[in-house]
């Protein structure tokens, strides 16, 4: 009798021990799936810090959807082609990359199609803080989603986003190498700029009803400042500011880069003595530049091309 009771007690103990182990394992898995950052990510994945918190992503995601141009550039620099891209014009991506690639359009950057994104079965979505933070939960319900800065971001913030993307796709070391090469190119270009350069530049989008000026905190403004080319607008609260002709006269830039030039607005202003009194206008230092390159793409490649074009205009050869 004693032997039977002893065996029964041992059996009950074993059952309770197994149950405890199973419950412990389940609790551990739940912690890994959370974004608290207190537990390690599950095997074959990693936790990435981004603008909306922390997200567990695959170790090497293969099907990536991106909702901003700078994220396309970042992946392309790392040798990755997105399966889905948000864009406005049919040739946006061709112009940015300099070649045609196969991808699925997922709507515009302002209004990406959740349905189309879902059909692509992505394992990672990269979205913009300015445009997409409001639909972060909807995107996350489709696939792990990173929220990063692009629209209205500075050059340095775009570089930070690139580093996060490189880590997320499992190419951190390659990302470091790409950035090292990028910075070397910019340093070589910077060497062409006199250390005492003091001309103030303004990058503006001249639309029919307004002028959107890019200040020192904008992508191109921040980039040129780092190249020792000062921006005319230092105290704008954000990356861009809508200004009047009177405000433009007050800032009085030495050089104007027009990323978009509406003929009607320029014709109207050209007849105004205020426009004619701006130093850049008086000295014929007003240059038209490509809007997509200077204000929309915001990638490593576009940064290098912007710097080169600015130097070509500021220091013409021959």
Q: Where are the alpha helices (DSSP H) in 92-234?
A: 92-97, 114-119, 129-132, 136-140, 155-168, 172-190, 219-226
CATH code of the domain containing 298: 3.40.50.1980
Q: Are residues 143 and 169 in the same domain?
A: yes
Q: Positive or negative CA dihedral for 114, 117, 122, 125? A: negative
Same domain, 98 and 167: yes
Q: Is residue 248 part of a domain?
A: yes
pLDDT digits (tens, 9 = 90+) for 206-258: 888 778 999 999 999 999 999 999 999 988 888 999 989 999 999 999 999 99
Same domain, 99 and 167: yes
The domain containing residue 150 runs over which residues? 45-188
Q: Are residues 137 and 256 in the same domain?
A: no
3-state secondary structure of 105: strand
Q: Are strands 255-261 and 211-214 parallel, antiparallel or unpaired?
A: unpaired
The domain boundary residue, chosen from 188, 210, 236: 188
Shared domain check, 206 and 178 = no
Q: Give the predicted TM-score (pTM) of the model.
A: 0.85
Residue whose C-alpha is closest to residue 311's, from 255, 250, 273, 268: 255
Q: How confident is the model at residue 171 (pLDDT cuts 50, 70, 90)?
A: very high
Sign of CA dihedral 152, 154, 160, 163: positive
Given 188, 211, 227, which residue is the final one in a domain? 188
DSSP strand pairing (201-206 vs 145-148) = unpaired
**Domain count within the chain:** 2
Instruction: Identify whether 10 is part of a domain.
Output: no
CA–CA separation, 241 and 189 (whole Å):
28
pLDDT band at 40 (very low <50, low <70, confident <90, very high): low
211-214 and 201-206: which strand pairing? Answer: antiparallel
Longest dimension (CA), the chain: 112
Q: Are residues 53 and 93 in the same domain?
A: yes
**Measured distance CA(184)–CA(188) in Å, rounded:** 6
Measured CA angle at 129 (ends 127, 132), to 5 deg: 60
**Listed residue (110, 105, 295, 142) closest to 212, CA to CA:** 295
For 79-114, the pLDDT digits (tens) are: 999 999 999 999 999 999 999 999 999 999 999 999
For residue 25, tell me if it sits in a domain: no
Q: Of the residues 128, 161, 188, which one is the last residue of a structural domain?
A: 188
| Residues 173 and 247 both lie in one domain | no
> Has residue 30 been placed in a domain?
no
In this structure, the answer to whether residues 127 and 62 fall within a common structural domain is yes
Whether residue 207 sits in one domain with residue 160: no
Instruction: For CA atoms 135, 139, 145, 149, give the dihedral sign.
Output: negative
């Amino acid at each position: 009798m004693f032997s039977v009771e002893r065996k029964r007690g041992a059996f009950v103990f074993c059952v309770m021990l197994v149950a405890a182990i199973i419950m412990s394992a389940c609790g551990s898995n739940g912690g890994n799936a959370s974004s608290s950052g207190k537990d390690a990510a599950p095997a074959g994945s990693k936790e990435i810090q981004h603008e909306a918190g922390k997200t567990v992503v695959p170790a090497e995601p293969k099907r990536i959807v991106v909702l901003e141009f700078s994220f396309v550039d970042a992946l392309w620099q790392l040798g990755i082609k997105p399966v889905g891209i948000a864009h406005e014009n049919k040739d946006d991506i061709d112009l940015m990359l300099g070649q045609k690639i196969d991808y699925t359009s997922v709507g515009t950057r302002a209004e990406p199609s959740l349905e189309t994104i879902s059909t692509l079965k992505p394992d990672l979505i990269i979205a913009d803080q300015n445009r997409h933070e409001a639909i972060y939960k909807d995107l996350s319900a489709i696939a792990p989603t990173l929220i990063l800065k692009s629209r209205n971001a500075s050059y340095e913030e775009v570089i930070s986003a690139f580093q996060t993307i490189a880590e997320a796709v499992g190419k951190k070391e390659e990302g470091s190498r790409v950035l090292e090469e990028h910075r070397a190119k910019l340093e070589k270009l910077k060497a062409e700029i006199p250390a005492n350069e003091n001309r103030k530049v303004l990058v503006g989008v001249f639309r029919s009803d307004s002028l959107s000026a890019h200040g020192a905190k904008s992508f191109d403004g921040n980039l040129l400042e780092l190249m020792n080319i000062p921006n005319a607008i230092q105290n704008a609260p954000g990356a861009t500011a809508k200004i009047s002709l009177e405000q433009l006269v007050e800032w009085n830039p030495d050089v104007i880069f027009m990323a978009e030039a509406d003929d009607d607005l320029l014709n109207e202003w050209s007849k105004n003595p205020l426009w004619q009194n701006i130093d850049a206008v008086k000295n014929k230092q007003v240059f038209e530049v490509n809007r997509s390159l200077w204000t929309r793409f915001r990638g490593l490649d576009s940064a290098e091309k912007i710097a080169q074009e600015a130097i070509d205009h500021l220091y013409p050869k021959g």
